[in-house]
Amino acid sequence: MSDMLTQLDRVLRLRMEQGDAESSYVASLHHKGLNKILEKVGEEATELVLAAKDAEGKALDSDEHRALIGETADLWFHSLVMLAHLGTDHRAVLDELGRRFGLSGLEEKAARAKN
């Protein structure tokens, strides 16, 4: 999975640094700025929530599940554009998930409550 993310990040960085807003969607987002990127992230998150509600109880090969995967990809993609715009990438997120791996969410929450 992270190989695909690494390849995609490389393209996203190239588009951000050298892309033409007329011919590249990613370059056009960076050109419009952070607010536009965040608008897209919010829009895609909402679309994902609606798709997940529609997919509940449906077969994995249903149109609703295909839409769910498509919306998840849209959200991940726009989140990667956002991270690139802010000077970071998926590796920082994977590092954070790695740090959390094996640590119960409930235990982590309890530890936070003590501090």
Binding interface with ligand PRT (CB under 6 A): 8, 11, 15, 19, 24-27, 74, 77
Provide, rounded to whole angstroms, the least separation between the CB of residue 25 and ligand PRT.
Answer: 3
Name residue, tokens 């998150």.
Answer: 45
Provide, rounded to whole angstroms, the least separation between the CB of residue 50 and ligand PRT.
Answer: 13
User: Is-contact 59 65, C-beta < 8 A?
Assistant: yes
Nearer to ligand PRT, 21 or 94 (CB): 21
Largest Cα separation within the chain, whole Å, is 53
- Please give the structure tokens belonging to residue 57: 């109880």
Provide, rounded to whole angstroms, the least separation between the CB of residue 52 and ligand PRT.
Answer: 16
Alpha-carbon distance of 48 to 64, in angstroms, equals 11
Alpha-carbon distance of 63 to 59, in angstroms, equals 9
Nearer to ligand PRT, 17 or 96 (CB): 17
Nearer to ligand PRT, 7 or 88 (CB): 7
Alpha-carbon distance of 52 to 14, in angstroms, equals 32
Phi, psi of 110 (to 5 degrees): -65, -40
Provide, rounded to whole angstroms, the least separation between the CB of residue 1 and ligand PRT.
Answer: 14
Nearer to ligand PRT, 15 or 85 (CB): 15
